Structure formats: structure tokens, C-alpha cells
Structure 1
Amino acid sequence: MRLQTIAFIIYILCVGQCSFRVRALVAVYDPSIKAPRCNSVGDSCDTRALLAGVGAYEVNAPNTVDGCQDNSPAYIPGDEAIERIVIKSKDGGNMAAGKLLVIEAIVTTASDVSGRTNTGYREIIRFYHASTSSAGWVYIAGGSVLPGSGMILFRYEKALPKGGIHAIRVKLGYGESSTVNPCSNSSYSTPYIDVDDMVFEIAAAEETSDAPSSVPSVALSVSPSVVVSALPSMNPSTSPVSTPLPTSMPSLEPTYMSSTEVTSLPPITTTLA
């Protein structure tokens, strides 16, 4: 009873004044937008194994808010694929407008490209951003690695100017060089492309006291040999119809995860131009 009384007093004193930190969030697949999402503000949002695989091997494929399809035959699980997307605040507090955010994508490179028409390409990764207030996808970063590099962590740091609902798109393709086309499922694209989205929410700038006055961004980085949690079964799934980025999210209780799941990633070893 005493603890309940203390909690009630703290609640009364904090109404309209206190900002409570939400723990790391695990995204859940939202059938209304056809992609994984975190529907509340936290210090991070993680897709875990929701995006693992590519094409018919990917659960809830294609996991994109606009119906963009993976342009990949994916005959074997050894083809390139986006496995996981994580976004988190760099300072460990709640994600908010103006604060530096860390965007991470864990991908698997193709294990063998000797049977492909062109064998001299690199694995190209592109990051895009969209929000309910933007006109569409905006290219923000990119990098590349050689096929056969195993599992790779790409990391990019960026601040977003406005709070609300946002989406990050990651596009991974063998020899895919287009930065303008966020989908690249056209006839001129290479037939080995995985595209995945994650929808998340950040607080407005006025809700945090440590937001910088400018919106900084830094170079994309890459780190090898990242261990990912167990992947889902490789059963083909049905592709959804095209759906626009929503203006609001249906209510859903957030799922929590241990922060060590993200912070235990190895240090950056290479910075890409």
C-alpha cells in the first residue's frame, strides 16, 4: 500500500512535467501497412527476425509500405538478403526530433555468384527515409561490400527534424547502383535485390531538453561478422498489395527487449566514403 501511495504521488507531481524513458522496442508486423513497426516512442526500434530472408523465403514478404517487391529469384537461402533493421538514439534516451539517431542494417551477402551472368559486381546497400509529412522516399546513405563477405552490419547516423511517424527503407542489391529509385524492381535492375521497410515513431523536439540546434549526419560505416538471432523458417509467403505510409497508427501495446540485444554489436572497423 505504501508503494502504491508513493507511485500515485509521483504521478500527480509529474503530470505534464515528467518525461519517462521507454525501453527498447521490438517491432511487430502490422498487416494494415504491410511492414514491421514500433507504434510508440522508445530509445530504439528493432525488427529482430521479421525481415530475415528475401523474396518467397521472407515472412510477410515483401515487408514494404508501398508494395515494392523483392526483385530476386532467391533459389537458395545463400543469396543476398536484409536480415534486420535497428534504429536507436545515440545518447541512450528516447528517440526525438533533432537528436542523433543510429540506423543499423544487418545483411547477408551472396555466398556464391559464380553462376550469375555478371560475376564482377559488388553488393550495394542504400538507405532511404520517409515520413507522413514528406512527399516520398529520400535517399540518405549508401555503401558496398564484396559478395562472399558473410554477414555485415551497416551503420549510419542521422538526426530527423520532425517528430511523428517515420519509415526507414533499406535496399540491398547485387550491382544495383540506383539511388534515385527506392524500389528498383524495373526491368533494368539486376535480379538480386531485397527491399525492406521499418516504421517507427520519434518524439517532437520540444519533448526533450538535449536536442541539438542543427540536424547532423555522419558517414556510413560497416562492420563484419555480426551474429543475428535465429531466423524464421524458409517457407514462401504471399506478397501484399500496395499500401501508402499511414498518417496514424492503430493502438498496440509495445513489445520490449533487452538493450544488450543491440548494444552488444562489435565496434566499427571501416568507414565508407
Structure 2
Amino acid sequence: MGTRKFGPIAMWLACATPAFAEAPQQDKDVWITIGTDALPTVRASFKAQGVALSAPLREKKGVAALRIRESQIDKLAGVIHDKLHRCAGFIAHDSEEKALAEVENASAPQQSLAALISYTLNNAPSVNAMMAGVQELNIRNTINSLSTNWTSRRYNQQSGKDAATWLKDQWTTIANGRSDVSVEFFTHASTTSPQPSVIATITGTTLPNEVVVIGGHLDSINGSGSSYAAPGADDDASGVASLTEAFRVAIANGYKPARTVKFMAYAAEEIGLKGSADIAAWHLNNKVNVVGVLQLDMTNYKGSSYDFGMVTDNTNAAQNTFVTNLISTYQPGLSYTNIACGYGCSDHASWHAKGFPTSMPFEATMSTDNPNIHTARDTLTEMGGTANNSVKFAKLAVSFMGELAKGATTGNTPPPTGEDPGGGGTVNTATYDATLKAPKCAAAGTGCDSGTLLNGRGGVGPEVNRPNTINASCTDGISGSYHSDESNDRLKVTTTDGTNLAAGKQVKVEATVWAYSTTADTLDLYYSASASSPSWKLIGSYKPSSTGATTISATYTLPTGSLQAIRANFRYQGSMASTCSTGAYDDHDDLIFTVQ
């Protein structure tokens, strides 16, 4: 992942094993961009080692351009990791001009070329068919091959190029001669990366000009230098293996996406995201409509109690909600938390800088990541000898592909692509409305889903934009702990006949709650014909059928009103229904939706 994992020099020397002679290299000037919040720490650490860091060439809105010596790259990455506990933290550029341009672009990111996407979940038969085929052994074998066939996959060594050739051959075999599938190298300038990137493409059937990307990086590095072993089993053979398995099950199940899907193994990530920067720039310059990018960088180390760490910086918030909805829907027993990864964290940052929507689910939090990365100890053995943790990432990649690219596997019917943001015939995913201060579906479809926006309670858990009640009119209790005590995690309203939300239609309300007690907890459900000026009407009060995660359902008939709302008041104890109870464990959430 990026250039982040370097430990102290003594640890590198103790862990690393010389692999082959390092060719002498001229120590030349290189240009980087870095987060300005990291500069004081980096400058102080360099000074303590007798190295003066030059002043920024340009600095703007949290990003700075610097000129440093090539020999200082490893030192820089080590400081960022050891002192700031961050993932990566800089991007390399091959000229001062490009570094300065990145400062300007990072300060004012370009608007996405992507078409408006309705993030609907309506392709379960095909997604489930592919997910059922994911096999740990296949992922394990790919990790093992990439991390043991070569001493290193470093971008500027023959072994790095050989690893790319091996992967291209593997993907070509998986493609099995399908005429709609291609596997090819993306060749970079020799000064950028002698190692090529590898891209497998499944051409879309009905929307071939809209592209979904799933990627990871192929290269590896040892922080002690290029003459030391860099197996890179977790970083990032595991990510490449996870996306390889997603590609395999797609082909094995005869999957034909509506949108084009590209699987990418990037070169030269470890020395400043060079490979992905080339590729993202090519897609921007050629006006390719990339509608979504998923980055898999390190998937096989279980360092956290959470199954996924969702990177929130330099990613797309709406797509992140879509990804966490995929987790909740297709792998409901798994958990996630939001994390910050830092400037220039991994290859998703290259796409984000060009204005494309990106997401990156990570294997841990930044403080609980794999301690062996960028050393000779980054092996499959050090991760227990299995690829069990990577299985859930391969499945997430499959669900991302199936629900964003749509299309179908053999024997299944393709669902609507959802390219019409009007949402007709789809359950829309809500986004936060900053005016009304609650999740809102602005278009009328067959339903409205809060997704993960409500997950948690107050400051207990990952709930964003809390309290998520209209006009912030009802605050949550703040006692207890996340998913031990009460929280209302999700609200969904849908028509019972599958038509669009309209006055007079019967609708089903589903509230997913985390219950502490089946006797002391109560959910009060309300509706209002007007979200702008609510007048709450009680639907009913309900007891959870079990503790932990459970869904409570109720029905009512939609009144007249173009913008309506429902409220979930989940309370601990109390004998009377309330729109805004005041208990220390109580949670209150609203969902706003458009009605025809």
C-alpha cells in the first residue's frame, strides 16, 4: 500500500535478507507532493538525521510540492510510517511541472466524467451465483505464486517484469478464449516503470462505454533497499489475488456485464503510485467514462476486530455508502469502520485526483495494520498460511462488480442498470440532505433506503451526520457502546406491489436495529406527510424478536404529499410511545423520500 510501511532502519536490516546485487544508481532529483500536515514531523526527523529538507516549491490547501533526492525516498516513507502511523503519504512525479500541477488539481479536484449512477442493489441472483464460487484455495495459490516465484516484484527489476508476464498468462487462461474478454499489458514509459501494468477487460453488453474498475498493485518493495527480499504476500499479492478470483468466478459463471469491467494490476505503486497515475490519466485524456473504482491493497491480514476499514479520505462518499451497503446486504455478518488513510495512500488516489469515484476497503485500521509489510517477513506463512481473510474482499469485489456493472450470469436475467437517476423501478439509496439534516431520496422509485448513513447512535458507532433527525430536532443518547447497546442502524421504505412510491400505495417499513433486550427495548415507528414541516403519526410500537441485529417491519398507506418522512424512535424502557424519547440509550432517525 503506497510507500508507507517502512519500519526503523535497524528492524529492516534484522528482517531483510539480501537477494541479489543492487545496481548502482545515480542519485537524482525527484519531485513529490505530500500532505502539508506531515511536513513538520518529516522536517524535524530529517534534521535529527542531519538532512535538511528543502522548502516547498508550492503549497496550497493541504498539499505541498517538494524536490528531494531519490535516495531520500525510503527515508521519507519511513518517517511518515514510524512517526505519523500513516499509510503512504506522498506521490512521485517525473517533473517539477507535474508536481506543481498536482498541487493545483488536489486543491480543486476535477468533476467526475462518470454518468449519474443510481446505486441500486437489484442483481442478487447473479451476485450470489458468483460469490458462491469464490474459493480460498485459488486466492491462496495466487498469493503463494506471486510471493515465492520471485525474490521481489520491484518495478525496475527483471523479476517485476516477469511477474507481470506470469499474471497476464494466468488471466489469459482464465479468459478461456471469450471474444468479449481481452488481457493486455499497459506499457509505461521506461523512466516511469519498466514493469508493465496488466489489464483484463470484459466488454459491456449494453453500456460498453461506461467502465467499472477493480484494481490492486503488482509490485513489491523492501524498505532496506532493492537488494533485499520483498515477497509482498500481503502487500499486495493478496489484493491482486482477490481481484483475480473475482475475475475467475465471473468467467466461470458466464457473467456478461452491462457496463465494461476492467481488472487492473498496477505497476510501480510502491514508489509513488506511478503506474495507476499513468492509467488514470489515460482514461481522463481519452474521456473514458469510468463510473466507479474499487482498490484492493492488502486484504489477507486480520489486524482489527472490524472486517473492513473503509477509507473516507480521497474517496467518493456516495460510492462508499454503496460499498458498505454491499457489505451489509451480501455479507451481513461482517463489520466495518471508517478510517483515514492519508494523502497519496494507494492507487485509488490516482483516480480520485482525476475526478473519478473511488473506494478502498482495507484489511485493518491504520494503527492495526500488518507489521511485516515492506520486509522479508511479508509472507503467507506469517499470515497463518491461508487466504481466509482475503475471501471476504474477493466477495466484496464480486458484489461491487455485479451491482455496479449489472448484467447477468448464465441462466439469470439482467436487472435494470439504474443509469437513470430518476430511479423509476428501483429502490433508491438515500444521501444526506444538508438542509433538512437527514437522509433523503430525491427521486421517486419503488422505495428509499438509508443504507449505512444511520449505522450507530450519536457518538456511539460510525453514524455520520448525527443525529439524522429533521432539522436536528431530536438528539440521541450517548451511553453504552456500539453494537452492545441499542442503535437504529438502517431504515427502508418500499411499496408492497413493486410500483413507485405514490399517494394511496401501501408501503413496508423495515427498521434494522441492534437490540440489547427483547423486553426492555421498543421501536416506535412514525410517518409524516410532510418532511419540511413534520406532523408525526404513529404506525405502531414493536418489540425486537431477538437481541443483536434484527429487522422490524410494519406497513402503512402513504398519504398525499410530495416529500414525506418516517421516523424510528428506538428506546430503552419507558411505557409510552414517543417521537423523541430522552433516554441515555435511545436512538432516533428519520428517512425522507419523494412520492409521486
Q: Shorter-chain TM-score: what band? A: 0.5 to 0.7
After TM superposition, give the deviation of residue 136 of structure 1 in Å.
1.8
- In structure 1, the residue matched to 2:108 is none
1:91 is the counterpart of 2:484: no
Matched, 1:81 2:499: no
Task: Give, in angstroms, the shift of residue 31 of structure 1.
Answer: 1.1
Task: Report matched runs for 1:66-77 at 5 Å.
Answer: 66-67=471-472, 68-77=474-483
TM, length-normalised to structure 2: 0.27
Secondary structure of the 2:559 match is: coil
Aligned positions of 1:141-160 closer than 5 A: 141-145=540-544, 149-160=547-558
Q: Match for 2:444: what amino acid?
A: V
In structure 2, the residue matched to 1:124 is 522
Could you tell me which residue of structure 1 aligns to residue 536 of structure 2? Answer: 137
Superposed displacement of residue 134, structure 1:
6.7
For 1:59, the equivalent position in structure 2 comes to 464
CA deviation after TM superposition for structure 1 residue 121, in Å: 5.2
Task: Please list every run of 5 or more consecutive structure 1 residues that lacks an aligned counterpart in the other structure.
Answer: 1-19, 112-119, 204-273
1:182 paired to 2:576? no
Would you tell me which structure has more helix in proportion to its own residues? 2
Letter in 2 for 1:178: M
1:172 counterpart residue number: 570
Q: Look up the SS of the partner of 1:32 in the other structure.
A: coil
Equivalent-residue separation in structure 2 for 1:135 and 1:106 (angstroms): 23
Whether the 8 Å CA contact 1:29–1:36 is kept in 2: the answer is yes
Match of 1:116 in 2: none
Counterparts of 1:1-273 in structure 2 under 5 Å? 21-56=424-459, 57=461, 58-67=463-472, 68-110=474-516, 122-132=520-530, 136-145=535-544, 149-179=547-577, 181-185=578-582, 190-203=583-596
Decide whether the 8 Å contact of 1:126 with 1:143 is kept in 2: yes
Does the 8 Å CA contact 1:63/1:197 hold for their aligned counterparts?
Answer: yes
Aligned length: 172
8 Å contact from structure 2 (residues 479, 585) kept in 1:
yes
Q: Could you tell me how far 1:135 is from its partner in structure 2?
A: 5.9
Pairwise CA distance, 1:202: 1.2
3-state SS in 2 of match to 1:66? helix
Q: Is the 8 A contact 1:121 1:174 kept in 2?
A: no
Decide whether aligned partners of structure 1 residues 162 and 74 sit closer, same or farther in structure 2, where only a CA change above 3 A counts. same
Distance 2:483 2:534 in 1: 35
Q: 2:454 is matched by which residue type in structure 1?
A: L
Which stretches in structure 2 are left out of the alignment for 5+ residues? 1-422
Q: Tell which has more relative contact order, 1 or 2 (C-alpha 8 A, sep 6+).
A: 1
% identical equivalent positions: 34
Q: Which amino acid aligns with 1:95?
A: L
Change (3 A) 1:135 1:94: closer
Runs of 4 or more above 4 Å deviation: none
- Contact between 2:519 and 2:543, CA under 8 Å: does it hold in 1? no
1:38-60 deviation digits (Å, cap 9, x = unpaired): 01110010011110001113211
- CA 1:66 to 1:137, structure 2 compared with 1: closer, same or farther past 3 Å? farther
- Secondary structure of the residue that 1:69 maps to in structure 2? coil
Question: Where is the strand percentage greater, Structure 1 or Structure 2?
Answer: 1
The AA in structure 1 aligned to 2:434 is: P
3-state SS, counterpart of residue 543 of structure 2 = strand
Whose Rg is larger? 2
27-36 or 129-138, which deviates more: 129-138
State the Cα RMSD in Å.
2.5
Pair 1:149–1:163, CA change in 2 (3 A): same
Q: Cα deviations across residues 54-104 of structure 1 (Å, max 9, x unaligned)?
A: 111321110000321002313444111111000001001111111111111
Q: In 2, distance between residues paired with 1:144 and 1:72?
A: 22
SS at match of 1:40: coil
**TM-score (structure 1 length as normaliser):** 0.58
1:90–1:100 contact (8 Å) kept in structure 2: yes
Distance 2:547 2:534 in 1: 36
Distance 1:193 1:52, change over 3 A: same
